[in-house]
Amino acid sequence: MMQLKKTTPTFLFYDYETFGIHPSLDKPAQFACIRTDMNLNIIDDPQYFYCFPSDDYLPDPHSVLITGITPQYTEKNGTNEYIFSKKIYNILRQSNTCIVGYNNINFDDEITRNIFYRNFFDPYEWSWKNGNSRWDLLNLLRACYVLRPNGIKWPRNKLGLPSFKLSDLTQMNNIIHLNAHDAISDVYATIEMAKLVKKKQPKLFDFYFKIRTKNELYKFINLKNFKPVIYISSFFGAVRHNMSVILPIIWDDNNSNILIAVDLFKDIKKLINIFKKIHFDNLLIKNLFDLGIVLLYLNRCPMLAPIQTMRNEDYNRLNLNRDIFNKNINLIKKDNFFIENIKIIFSKKKQNNQSFNVDLEIYHSFFNSHDKKSIKIIRNTQPFFLKNINFNFHDSRLKTLLFRYRARNFFNSLDKNEKEIWLKHCMNIFNPLSLKEYQNKIQSLLEKYSNNLDKVILLKKLLDYVLKKYKKLFFKDININ
């Protein structure tokens, strides 16, 4: 396999399989990645490895059925989450790497951030430091479908809407994809789909690669001249081809990564009238999204395009009426208070209340420089010695994070009192009511898939895992009657 210098720009295609769909609460099962050069030629051996779940966690049966990965398999072939995270961290931080997946912006990258957060690696630097960046092939394909669909076959779902499931696209375009929902197989399939876009629509591929970073996107956005842009996002739904024409309005005062815009295919008159009728203190921001307010996060690679990119044939194919958005722009121009009203509303935006579960608190705030020094000490200290260090944390999350980090990854490093605290925490997960619901869920799936031997075996293994886990933790059999 050809090797490039560490400083040579590369793509790293990657994927997770997980034990559930919640990036903060659920756990990873498998990681896989393949590095390519900028022409998408594979330049390194594929890497894949497994992670077993911690003792305070119940895998989602639906996810086990999809991936076919049982917790027993990961216990036999994988590592704890700390070792798993460290291996991934060392792969992702190679300089000049563009990290790509399929729906990674919304899912895989969030898994990465959360496992790094739980295991005291920086949750963000891997995606921007030392020339690194990230990109998402799913969004690129959505843009390709809207703007330049020729050369690629587009599958439809049962409702007749375009399907962007990776397995549907690979099948329709005769791309080998042997084991969908196996991470390494999905990575190979993602690379082949990227090659297809690059081959059939090279200008579109290059354009979106160029504007993938927020610094390039800042240059692209013009707030002064009421200049609309095309925005491609699942926010608009498949019925609307995952796209709209938007008008950028203002930057969020609290977060420079957030652009506040208006969906120009919504009823803007209704939005203007709402501002006139309802007092701002009584206006919920979440209600404005139904009326046409759109938030774009520039650090999430939003897919924007100049309005001139749309040709007459595209308007006809997508059944879009440009008169609608032009009229809405004129309405906004005529209303002298429209932009000011939006500024006022978003200036009153309340911060989310802090959760009682530290695992959900990654986005509460950044750690300050003092705490970052403590985090570095934690990472460089043998687990058995951590209990002897008195960390003067400024951030209240870190005390609980450290305890869970030690308990989940290095249970034997806990003293007797700490073990009792941890087992009490685990009992909250394995309480009789939760276990009864869990058993009922598995029983329901066993009945549903009674004629599918493979799924029956997976579900029985999962139930066996939970029963044995309970006995291991609490030295008794489950009594959930």
Model confidence pLDDT, tens digit, residues 367-410: 999 999 999 999 999 999 999 999 999 999 999 999 999 999 99
Q: Among 84, 81, 89, 94, which residue's Cα sits nearest to residue 35?
A: 94
Least confident piece of the model among 102-106, 188-192, 377-381, 476-480: 476-480
Distance CA 54, CA 71 (A): 10
Average pLDDT along the chain: 94
The answer to whether the beta carbons of residues 34 and 191 sit under 8 Å apart is: yes
Distance CA 197, CA 233 (A): 18
Mean per-residue pLDDT, 326-350: 87
Mean per-residue pLDDT, 421-441: 95
Q: Is 247 helix (H, G, I), strand (E, B) or coil?
A: strand
Looking at residue 286, its pLDDT comes to 74
More confident residue, 472 or 283: 472
- The answer, yes or no, to whether residue 87 has pLDDT greater than 80, is yes
The answer to whether the beta carbons of residues 201 and 188 sit under 8 Å apart is: no
HSE-up of residue 44 (Cα within 13 Å, Cβ side): 18
Mean per-residue pLDDT, 213-229: 91
Mean per-residue pLDDT, 259-280: 87
Looking at residue 277, its pLDDT comes to 74
Looking at residue 76, its pLDDT comes to 98
129 is in an annotated binding site: no
- The answer, yes or no, to whether residue 38 has pLDDT greater than 80, is yes
Record the pTM: 0.94
The answer to whether the beta carbons of residues 328 and 335 sit under 8 Å apart is: no
Least confident piece of the model among 269-273, 329-333, 360-364: 269-273
Which H or E element spans position 342? Answer: helix 338-347
464 is in an annotated binding site: no
Distance of CA 199 to the CA centre of its chain: 27
H-type helices in 68-156, by residue range? 71-77, 81-92, 109-118, 137-147
Looking at residue 337, its pLDDT comes to 86
Q: Among 76, 104, 103, 75, which residue's Cα sits nearest to residue 88?
A: 104
Share of the chain above pLDDT 70, in %: 95
Looking at residue 25, its pLDDT comes to 98
Which H or E element spans position 63? Answer: helix 61-67
The answer to whether the beta carbons of residues 161 and 238 sit under 8 Å apart is: yes
Mean per-residue pLDDT, 354-358: 85
Q: What is the pLDDT confidence band of residue 349, given thresholds at 50, 70 and 90?
A: low
Highest-scoring range by mean pLDDT, 1-10, 188-197, 334-343: 188-197
Mean per-residue pLDDT, 79-100: 98
Looking at residue 447, its pLDDT comes to 98
Q: What is the pLDDT confidence band of residue 336, given thresholds at 50, 70 and 90?
A: confident
198 is in an annotated binding site: no
Looking at residue 355, its pLDDT comes to 75
- The answer, yes or no, to whether residue 475 has pLDDT greater than 90, is no
17 is in an annotated binding site: yes
Longest dimension (CA), the chain: 72
